[in-house]
Amino acid sequence: MEGVDYLADERNKAEFDVDEMKIVWAGSRYNFELSDRISKLVANDPGFSKEGRTMLPRKELFKNTLRKAAYAWKRIIDLRLSEEEATQLRRWVDEPAFTDLHWGMFIPAIKGQGTDEQQKKWLPLAHKMQIIGCYAQTELGHGSNVQGLETTATFDPQTDEFVIHSPTLTSSKWWPGGLGKVSTHAVVYARLITDGKDYGINGFIVQLRSLEDHKPLPGITVGDIGMKFGNGAYNTMDNGVLKFDHVRIPRDQMLMRVSQVTKEGKYVQSDIPRQLLYGTMVYVRQTIVADASIAMSRAVCIATRYSAVRRQFGSQNGGKETQVIDYKTQQNRLFPLLASAYAFRFVGEWLKWLYTDVTQRLQANDFSTLPEAHACTAGLKSLTTTATADGIEECRKLCGGHGYLCSSGLPELFAVYVPACTYEGDNVVLQLQVARFLMKTVSQLGSVKKPVGTIAYMGRIEHLMQCRSDVKQAKDWLKPSAILEAFEARAVRMSVACAQNLSKFDNPEEGFAELAADLVEAAVSHCQLIVVSKFIEKLQQNIPGKGIKQQLEVLCGIYSLFLLHKHQGDFLGTGYITSKQASLANDQLRALYSQLRSNAVSLVDAFNYTDHYLDSILGRYDGNVYPKLYETAWKDPLNESDVADGFHDYIRPIIKQQLRTARL
Ligand SMILES: Cc1cc2nc3c(=O)[nH]c(=O)nc-3n(C[C@H](O)[C@H](O)[C@H](O)COP(=O)(O)OP(=O)(O)OC[C@H]3O[C@@H](n4cnc5c(N)ncnc54)[C@H](O)[C@@H]3O)c2cc1C
């Protein structure tokens, strides 16, 4: 029945003020009001309908995305939205499109790597969308190994131009979003060659298509790389292939903020330090961590609401069956994901602060915190996106068979989200970078250089190598100090064990390659510590609102103790806890699940997602799942007729034993 809230009983059980929690989740009242207003504006506009998206053939799907992007731009202009509001609008439209790369990579690349003059020339064009740009780094043959890129940009002093060329098939640009069918321009990464010498990878602004008829310019071969994983999903994006045949661009289209080539072909480093470029990287990774909390919370919102609606077994005397959310196994899979959504939200909030801090320090020529900030953002990008991709798939399984339907919203969410584990740095490659940083830190302990920021705990190595947990009863695991020391001791001990094993190799690089899997585990333990410690720090803030702090304490406990339970081999193996203490942690975890149970639906309501955004029958706010599933099935094109197309040719001949005469 329309208008009935089938989850009202669940909502009435909440022990906290949901409206206040919405503000905590949004970060501030201002953020909440902004996102609430824009998400509703999008949800109520039929121009942004998602109807049938997963059933459209690629060409229609793509054209519909182009229409939506143009319509969104029109709304942004008509409503005179600010940049902040426009970004929100694109987020709530919720369809991957070329605009993501234009605003998210092309413009930031010019801002970060272009000189003031270049920014003055290109940014107004890009901001008005008179040109549309993408970020063309990856090639068919090389992705993670950026130094291995093969595209060349050779300076010709005769004409004061660079010649951009793809010397091999594997040097074709491959993957850039927005490249295939839309972008007029690209920031292209190529080997800079001048005066016969290779100066490594640099960015260049290259025009790809005519601004009149959109045809590729001479020397440019460009197209889409083809269908990707899932229905709808990332197929709305024109990931592209691009080949250059001696394409000439003016010298001033090399992005020259940190290095330049003079008219005479001389390569000069500017006095602006190269490290400045890391600021952009910290920014991009911070947004990826924020996106992880959004994707995780979205999947968890669907799985939680549906788990409260779904009933299986347990009925006695014809009474109601058990809600599946009441099964401890369901709670043990779902509640840690709910806690992770909140944990990633808070660590993302902290990363925003870190970005501001790094930017201010860079402006003051203080590079001291940069390696630590770089390692921490790389590690958190890897940790949160891996957990979120796995978490979305777990949410699909938590919804049983119905989770496998596109109308649950989960298959498309998974297909859209999972490449986050690969782009902006493959997650394993990133953890190896973190591990390198950890090994360097361990080797420098005892020197004058004190570890700072998220690595400061290593300064207490002597204590952390020897201490033992003093937990005696289950509730002792609720003490933040008990949790924090456990995660610190585990992280230090795993790093030190790796460093000791590495020291047995004559050649450190050989050792690093051989021990790579252990090093990644040490890096992950360090990153989990960061998330746990930022959650604990959040709880030390003044958080007003009825019952809010108590709920967050429960979530923090679940996040930490679930990790402790899952990785108890590490905690036991490093000797910090006994098996008795591990078992007490598990007892406490179960108790926390019971505390969370009555608040679960309200905790996902606090994400404040519209039904339009969730796009999931299972996750509907009102819980009216079954009639909608039934209704939607009949909208499938296969159900347009009772008798399937193909019956006469392929089914009837089988039934009627006429295969020999059938035209197959
Ligand atoms: C949806 C999507 C959108 C993208 N958008 C863009 C874009 O807009 N612009 C752009 O330029 N690129 C884009 N990319 C490309 C992306 O940045 C690369 O795919 C990514 O950097 C990984 O590189 P790769 O594909 O070469 O993987 P590879 O590096 O070939 O990885 C393959 C495997 O090898 C492992 N591996 C690699 N190196 C090491 C090592 N040193 N040690 C141990 N293991 C290793 C990896 O962990 C992985 O398991 C996009 C990719 C996707 C999927």
For the residues of 479-502, what is the DSSP string, one character each? -HHHHHHHHHHHHHHHHHHHHHHH
Q: Is 428 in the pocket of ligand 1 (CB under 6 A)?
A: yes
Of the candidates 293, 302, 330, 308, which has an alpha carbon nearest to the alpha carbon of residue 403?
A: 302
Size of the chain in residues: 664
**pLDDT tens digit string along 280-325?**
788 889 999 999 999 999 999 999 999 999 999 987 778 899 999 9
> What is the residue with the minimal CA distance to atom 39 of ligand 1?
429
> What is the residue with the minimal CA distance to atom 17 of ligand 1?
423
**pLDDT tens digit string along 328-383?**
999 999 999 999 999 999 999 999 999 889 889 888 888 888 888 889 999 999 99
Q: Is 177 in the pocket of ligand 1 (CB under 6 A)?
A: yes
SS3 call for 179: coil
Q: How many helices (H) and strands (E) does the chain have?
A: 24, 11
Tell whether ipTM is more than 0.90.
Answer: yes
The 8-class DSSP code of residue 49 comes to -
Give Cβ neighbours of residue 524 (< 8 Å, ≥ 6 apart).
379, 383, 431
Low-confidence ranges of the chain (pLDDT < 50): none
Q: Is 270 in the pocket of ligand 1 (CB under 6 A)?
A: no
Of the candidates 547, 557, 563, 643, which has an alpha carbon nearest to the alpha carbon of residue 598?
A: 547
In this prediction, residue 1 carries a pLDDT of 62
Q: Is 419 in the pocket of ligand 1 (CB under 6 A)?
A: yes
In this prediction, residue 10 carries a pLDDT of 98
Is 138 annotated as ligand-binding?
Answer: yes
Give the nearest ligand 1 atom to 134 CA.
8
Mutate to test the pocket of ligand 1, among 107, 189, 234, 426 (most ligand atoms within 8 A of CB): 426
> Cα separation of 386 and 383, whole Å?
5
CA of 487 to the centre of ligand 1 (A): 30
In this prediction, residue 398 carries a pLDDT of 98
Structure tokens at 530: 């960061």
Structure tokens at 122: 């290109």
Contact 301, 310 (CB under 8 A): no
Mutate to test the pocket of ligand 1, among 103, 285, 429 (most ligand atoms within 8 A of CB): 429
In this prediction, residue 2 carries a pLDDT of 72
Residues annotated catalytic, as ranges: 424
Contact 58, 236 (CB under 8 A): no
Tell me whether residue 542 is exposed, middle or buried, using C-beta atoms within 10 angstroms of its C-beta: 0 to 12, 13 to 18, 19 or more.
exposed
Give the nearest ligand 1 atom to 513 CA.
42
Q: Is 118 in the pocket of ligand 1 (CB under 6 A)?
A: no
**pLDDT tens digit string along 420-438?**
999 999 999 999 999 999 9
Q: Is 176 in the pocket of ligand 1 (CB under 6 A)?
A: yes
In this prediction, residue 280 carries a pLDDT of 76
